[in-house]
């Protein structure tokens, strides 16, 4: 054997290892793309349904506002008012799609 000469076995082993590494990289790329697609689909489906949550939150805020008004709890009045306004704002953003 000549110094610096690599036997065929080692070069073939290196090529096999390289091929396996390339296959693993492609597999990981496919998994990442599939995960990203699944997340996008889940967010898209959730954005279609989420308007109902805002309506429910507004109703809950109105009920909380009425109860806190009758009990004269000032901080709860402000909290429910802010909750109602924020949900109305989110609802208008979703309806108009201002930020998408």
Binned at pLDDT 50, 70 and 90, residue 22 comes out as: very high
List the alpha helices (DSSP H) in 1-100. 8-71, 74-96
pLDDT at 73 over 60: yes
Question: Do 13 and 60 meet the contact criterion of CB atoms below 8 Å apart?
Answer: no
Give the pLDDT band (50/70/90) at residue 94.
Answer: confident
Domain ranges of the chain: 8-96
Q: Could you say which DSSP state residue 67 is in?
A: H
Q: Determine contact, residues 27/49, Cβ cutoff 8 Å.
A: no
- DSSP-derived letter for residue 78 is H
| pLDDT for residue 51 | 66
**pTM score of the predicted model:** 0.45
Please give the structure tokens belonging to residue 49.
């349904």
List C-alpha distances in Å: 47 to 34, 93, 98.
20, 11, 14
Please check the confidence at residue 5 and state whether its pLDDT lies above 80. Answer: no
């Amino acid at each position: 054997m000549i110094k610096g000469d690599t036997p065929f076995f080692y070069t073939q082993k290196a090529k096999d290892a390289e091929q396996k590494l390339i296959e693993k990289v492609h597999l990981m790329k496919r998994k990442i793309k599939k995960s990203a697609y699944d997340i996008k689909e889940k967010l898209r489906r959730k954005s279609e349904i989420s308007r109902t949550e805002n309506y429910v939150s507004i109703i809950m805020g109105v009920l909380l506002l009425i109860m806190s008004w009758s009990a004269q709890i000032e901080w709860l009045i402000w909290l429910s008012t802010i909750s109602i306004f924020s949900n109305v704002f989110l609802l208008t953003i979703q309806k108009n799609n201002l930020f998408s």
